[in-house]
Amino acid sequence: MKSNTNPDSDVARTLEIDQPHGYGRWVKRLIVVALVVIAVIAGVVIWRTSGKSNTTQYKTEEVRRGDLTVIVTATGTLQPTNTVDVGSELSAS
């Protein structure tokens, strides 16, 4: 008996060419969702760090005359720059 199968359809079935695959659509959707999530996370990180800059901030004012008070506090031992031996002679009478 002669088989009534088409050799092209056997090859297509073996290679799974003519069978529709639903997972291709799901993979594309998963990639799109992942890209959207990554974009949202990147946007939130950029938004939160944009308000905090590490640059030095300066405040300027007009010049005015006034007293300057500087207070210095420190701990330690004082050492003289010069030392002098002072002595006296006592005479007993």
- Examine residue 58 and state whether it is found in any structural domain, yes or no: no
The range of the structural domain enclosing residue 26 comes to: 20-50
Cα(93)–Cα(91) distance, integer angstroms: 6
**pLDDT single digits (tens) 29-49:** 899 999 999 999 999 988 887
Residue 26 has pLDDT above 50, yes or no: yes
**Model-wide pTM > 0.85:** no
pLDDT at 3: 53
Residue 22, both tokens: 């639903």
- Residue 89 in any domain: the answer is no
Per the structure, how many domains does the chain have?
1
**Residue 12 and residue 18 in contact, taking contact as beta carbons nearer than 8 Å:** yes
Residue 35 lies in a domain: yes
DSSP 16: T
- Contact between residue 46 and residue 53 where contact means Cβ atoms under 8 Å apart: no
- What is the distance, to the nearest Å, from the Cα of residue 79 to the centroid of all Cα atoms in its chain? 48
**Closest to 18 in 3D by CA, of 27, 6, 29, 28:** 6
32 in any annotated domain: yes
